[in-house]
Chains A and B, each alone.
Chain A
Amino acid sequence: MNIPEGLKFTKEHEWVKEDNGICLVGITDFAQGELGDIIYLDVTAEPGTEVKLGETIGSIEAIKTVSEIFSPVSGKIVEVNTAVNDNPSVVNTDPYGAGWMLKIEPSSAGEFSALLDAESYKTLIGA
């Protein structure tokens, strides 16, 4: 189970990485493993949309199931990784890299800091 240090995590099994004031968001290795083969990423909130912490902003279609995507922080969506849908299996093979889902410009720094660190996320999933 790959749980990189230095990333933040949500209880909904998303990871968040802050880079120059922008939050990069994806799903964790644990999440992709639980979902199985991912076949489509449907981020319904378009770039420019303001979203709130915990808001449903789309869904992940896996072959056997579907899972909602929740915004890990409040802010403005600045980019959605639409290229991932040319080869959605990259979310399974590279969830922390090419399989990223979206970028959000957070409206406050506090929400990001309050997310789980790698150690707490490990405890959460019993890894």
Chain B
Amino acid sequence: MKKTAFYNIHKALGAKIVPFAGYEMPIQYEGIIAEHKTVRESVGVFDVSHMGEVEVRGKDAFDFVQRITTNDVSKLEKGDVQYSAMCLKNGGIVDDLLVYNLGDHYMLVINASNIDKDIKWMEENLSGDVTLKNISDETSLLAVQGKNSIHTLQKLTDTDLSAIEYYKFVQGKVAGQDVIISHTGYTGEKICFEIYSSSDVEKSEALWNAIFEAGKEYNIKPVGLGARDTLRLEYAFRLYGNDMDENYNTIEAGLGWITKPEKGEFNGKERILEAKANPGRKLVGFMLEDRMVARHGQEVYSGDTRIGVVTSGSLSPMLNKNIGLAYIDKGFNKIGTPIEILLRDKRLKAKVVKTPFLEG
């Protein structure tokens, strides 16, 4: 089992540590709901160093990234970040990812659980002058999220953070270290940063401590993977392995907005065009009337007809309602449709609702 550079800090903070994607990761510190509210109300810090980073270099790097991802990389200027997906030739989603344009190369940020699979897939798709470098092990990643993240980090850098727009990044210094400061996140907060830095333990710990010192006046707190999941779900952000995998294409997963067939050829295009022309099952949000939580894998019914499957479910700490995502068959996935979720021996009443669940 791997450990991130912040492992000793998590231990010292009394985090509950669980195995996740081959890493020993903090799932919670004081409790998921409290940590969730910390992010929504002020600022929280997540160690997400388990995420994978791959550099793509060479004169054909653009063509390569354009061909393996669904979004249009030609729109990606230096300093831009793009949410995208990698698909198999049959349209099945290999992973969702972020693409960073660093000018002379790209950086792809991929899910921890998929690092080996993704790199193998990329290698199989290599052509021309392209080299890949897996820099996951040498990269720490902290997500500093919530409205006071900007005030916290601004104390530690000369870079004007207010000038970095959403989904843009700069290479600068934070607490004296060379980092990438990215205005991105997975919490739904509009003011949110992700800091890519060296995974050297001493440096990583110094960075963590500097951030917590700077954020003290905002009551900054560490946040675990548990709250990361509830935070992302309130905004209906898809989680790979839960809400999508190689059995679903981007149209079914509701990721049509990052799928750009007009850009030219890319893996999965043919199947994706078919799915667009003839939509079937679709990932939609639902809200329960019940106080029981729907969980991944539970079946969805309309009367006696099985119409789908739950992929994510949780209490929304902000709405105090039980919410979730489910793949629902055509004919049953319109907003407002009543559905039932089979839970052990009972059926929970729910309704298809628009997402994100949380406004703003």
Contacts and interface: CB of A to CB of B under 8 A. Distances in A.
A37 interface: yes
A64 B291 contact: no
Contact of B32 (A42, A61, A64): A64
Interface in A38-58: 39-40, 42
Nearest to A56: B344
Contacts of B31: 36-37, 92
Contacts of A89: 33
A41 B239 CA distance: 28
B66 interface: no
Nearest to B31: A37
A114 interface: no
A39 B204 CA distance: 35
A66 interface: yes
Interface in B256-301: 291-293, 295
A32 to B, nearest CB: 10
Nearest to B320: A39
Interface of A: 36-37, 39-40, 42, 59, 61, 63-64, 66, 85, 89, 92
B230 interface: yes
Interface residues of B, number: 16
- The B interface is mostly helix, strand or loop, or mixed, namely mixed
B85 interface: no
A61 B291 contact: yes
A64 B32 CA distance: 9
Contact of A39 (B28, B226, B295, B315): B315
A2 to B, nearest CB: 16
B32 A66 contact: no
B314 A42 contact: no
Interface string B2-42: 00000000000000100000000001100111000000000
Identify which of A37, A59, A66, A92 gathers the most chain B CB atoms within 10 Å of its CB: A37
Given A63-B230, A64-B226, A85 B295 contact: no
B226 A85 contact: no
Contacts of B291: 39-40, 42, 61, 85
Identify which of B33, B229, B295, B317 gathers the most chain A CB atoms within 10 Å of its CB: B33
Contacts of B32: 36-37, 63-64
B314 A61 contact: no
The 10 closest A-B pairs by CB, nearest first: A40-B291, A37-B33, A39-B315, A63-B32, A37-B32, A37-B31, A61-B293, A63-B315, A64-B226, A36-B32
Nearest to B317: A63
A43 to B, nearest CB: 13
B83 to A, nearest CB: 26
A66 B344 CA distance: 11
Interface string B56-76: 000000000000000000000
26 contacts: A36-B16, A36-B28, A36-B31, A36-B32, A36-B226, A37-B32, A37-B33, A39-B291, A39-B293, A40-B292, A40-B293, A42-B291, A42-B292, A59-B292, A61-B291, A63-B33, A63-B226, A63-B230, A63-B314, A63-B315, A64-B27, A64-B32, A66-B292, A66-B295, A85-B291, A89-B33
Contacts of B314: 63-64
Given A36-B28, A39-B315, A61 B33 contact: no
A99 B87 CA distance: 48
Contacts of A40: 291-293
